[in-house]
Homo-oligomer: A and B are copies of this chain.
Amino acid sequence: MPTTHLPYPREELYRLGPQRSFSGRALGEIAFPLGGIGTGTVSLGGRGQLRDWEIFNRPGKGVTLPYTFFSIWAKAAGGKPIARVLESRLQPPYTRADGLASSEQAGLPRLDSCTFQGEYPFAKLAFADRRLPLQVELEAFNPMAPLDADLSGMPVAIFTWRLHNPGHTPVDATLAFSIANVAGYDGVTTLDRNASTKMLGRGLNSWQQQNGLAGIALTTEIAISWPDLTHTLRWKRAGRFDAFQSFWDDFADGQLRDDPTPDRAPDGRIDYSTLGLRVHLAPGESVALPIALAWHMPNLTNTWNAGQRGLEGLVGKPIGNHYATRFKDAWDVATHTLRELPNLESATRRFHDTLFESTLPAHVLDAVSSQMSIIRTTTCLRTSDGKFHGFEGCNDNVGCCPMNCTHVWNYEQALAYLYPALERTMRDTDFAINTRDDGDMAFRTALPLEPVVLWDFKPAADGQMGSIMKVYREWLLCGDTKWLRKLWPEIKRALEYAWRGPNGNASAAWDPDGDGVMEGEQHNTYDIEFYGPNTMCGSLYLGALRACEDLARALGEDVTADEYRTRYERGRARLDQELWNGEYYVQREPPVDQIVEVDHGTQPWHSSAYVPGENELRYQYGRGCLSDQLLGAWFGAVVGLDNLLPPERVRAALASIFRYNWHADLSDHANTQRTYALNDEAGLLLCSWPLGERPTQPFPYSDEVWTGIEYQVAAHLIYAGLVDEGLTVVRGLRDRHDGERRNPWNEFECGNHYARAMASWSLLLALSGFRYSAPAGRISFAPVVNADKFRSFFSTGTSWGSFAQAHNDSSFKATLELRAGSLRLQRIELCPLTTPTQVSITLGGQPIAAHLEPAGADVVVALHQELSLVAGELIEIRLR
């Protein structure tokens, strides 16, 4: 199976950091989201501007707040003062019917240029300017640490401005932040200079000062801990451009007009305020100025179910944000943030450093880190009951394809490994709420959860089986068998629905004859139904059967376990036998006259594959090479079910997928569907028909390129040992997100920040060969890049840390350092290059009793006693 020529040199594919840095045109699309889990975000643009204000309980791409920006005034001793907006210059085009807006301060001078570097959750900008007598850098972040959903769920953006005086004379400077008080804003309506809408007005800007912190309280707060302040509570209320002109005239003189008497804005009008930090910098001196922008928008309501048959009644229902149960108001958030800033920042940096010190290729870390941000965008909610929910993605102003869509969230691994407790709330919803008595799981969630309203549509075969594999993953990570037991009846019902069918009607079931192969109407992630055996739904079904076998045994239901095992083995054998075409697995469509249609709700967007009177099914893939054909096997690789399909076939099929579906250049690709990759870009098509027999109406999206599937295939290629190919797919994908074409921190599919893209986390799992079973106390590492000097982040349901290994000819040393939580250990699986015969382990220098058990290519270090590692502890393992 020789692979076609790879367009990237291997040294590029395997290059370690530093991460990309962006400048010039590549700043155009950059929007780095700043916000916590379920808080919404405001994004830092590539030029340093604030863009896409999404803090108002809904997405807001393109939403800007008028006159909301950072600015600087500086004067070197004996020199002329200079005032600048703290952004690099605007970039073309400059077309707007009535000119670039005053409210975007388009006409004020900016700094000459900047470079942007993002290592989520930290963004760094370095500015350059001919005239400013200071060097200026900005670091922005929102606190984030795995496992700690509260620390990672704060409605705040923290900006640290670093000013340095490189000259020979002292410099006086004022760094200011101006902001519009838009209390009442709906997050959608265009606000400009003259904005006057009924929703606005009566806002009050007031001065706050306590415990060394100071700031201006609006609904959104700015707070800082800095002694020398200047501020304007509200700009002059005046027509035309007078308010802005008056502010800028004051600022350009280096002093804001402080006004101590707060009063409410007139009806319908916006007040603007500015907070300035004054510094005096001696030659060579530097200073860091921290500013916290905090918000508090408690009233999350359902804005997304309009037009969804059966759920329209939910629109407007209050749901509420979890963060609002923790903080009284934005000032509370701001003061908490600044009081705790050293802790918040060090926790965040600890995570960041652990992730970025990994020896994974730079572009893989880029893919892994940038897409884990999705957890903390408007794609995801944390409702006032503490539960986590997710859209598929977000349209520009409303969440898209609500909610917890089982088949799209099949691909996501980031939340599961970073916030496993939140991920478990999704399983609670899947099984305790959405699974009907007959085992039919509504594949979307209606919010609010109470009273229970279920999405009235056929269940998704891939999503439902995937949810079972997910619950297995959650159990492995956390080991909470009590939790599992509570959901077990629904899990079994959901699995057995495969052969029992809707309301027990087996003839309408996915697997009517119960042989472990789905043949019925299988609704799936392409928004259509596949008919007949196929390994896309089929491999997920095998995975669900195997997972439930293990779960049943863990719960003492051996008979059930055996039954599932039997179905699995029959299914596996039949799929492999009937669908392998020598190069990959195909679909075997049934004759049209054998189609059994399932009577279920319909939705406006749905088109049936089976149209009475037509003699060919629509929307199948047939003899095609489907990129998702091994979806269940990929998930199996993640959770340690390695053998769902024969490994040599899996490897061959993956090589075919890469050969046929991945293109280094799409200039000649003809796609009538939606477009996510084009021109000279590289991408992996969802399907191709290399042997001909492309259907007249192939399944929708077949000619598209989805990052989530690219990641899934890339990780699976790596699991299968086709590492070059896997890294190539990731490289092509991330090159498309180069800041000029697309935002590196937003991979969109059917919506921005699309959940499927969180499949990128499986790259980290695959490259480090990491697995953990809490029930067994077993941790495994099998690095496949830089294995002789390897380091990587890892996480379990209760802990995270850093794993390292080093090889030389005669010895192998591994270290496992826990940086948060606690970790139960009984067995440690490693993958040395040579077969060792001796092991020594130490914990804080103290030896631990253990022996070696060989296990294929790996070795297992079996501890004589279970160990419970806690944060800060490190074990060192030497093999010889």
Contacts and interface: CB of A to CB of B under 8 A. Distances in A.
Interface of A: 28-29, 61, 83, 89-90, 92-102, 105-109, 112, 131, 238-242, 244-246, 248-249, 252, 393-396, 400, 607, 618-619, 667-676, 678-679, 696-697, 700, 703-704, 736, 740-743, 746, 748-752
A678 B100 contact: yes
Q: Is the interface of A mostly helix, strand, loop or mixed?
A: loop
Contact of A28 (B93, B669, B672): B93
A13 B680 CA distance: 39
Contacts of A672: 102, 105, 107-108, 241, 244-245, 248
Contacts of A395: 97-98
Contact of A703 (B98, B107, B697, B741): B107
Top 6 closest A-B pairs, CB basis? A107-B671, A99-B674, A239-B607, A100-B675, A106-B675, A107-B675
A162 to B, nearest CB: 24
B241 A107 contact: no
Q: How many copies of this chain sit in the oligomeric assembly?
A: 2
B97 A61 contact: yes
Contacts of A700: 240-241
Given A97-B393, A109-B669, A239-B607, A92 B675 contact: no
11 contacts: A61-B97, A93-B742, A94-B675, A97-B396, A99-B674, A99-B675, A99-B749, A106-B674, A107-B671, A241-B672, A242-B618
A514 B310 CA distance: 76
A749 B98 CA distance: 5
A748 B101 CA distance: 13
Contact of A249 (B29, B252, B696, B740): B696
B670 A95 contact: no
A748 B703 contact: no
Contact of A240 (B89, B239, B607): B607
Contact of A674 (B92, B100, B400, B668): B100
A126 to B, nearest CB: 20
A670 B394 contact: no
Contacts of A107: 669-675, 678, 703-704
B740 A92 contact: yes
Given A93-B741, A395-B98, A751-B98, A108 B671 contact: yes
Given A89-B679, A252-B670, A669-B107, A95 B240 contact: no
Contacts of A239: 607
Nearest to A99: B674
Contacts of A671: 107-108
Contacts of A89: 667, 678-679
B93 A400 contact: no
A324 B748 CA distance: 46
Contact of A673 (B90, B241, B607, B670): B241
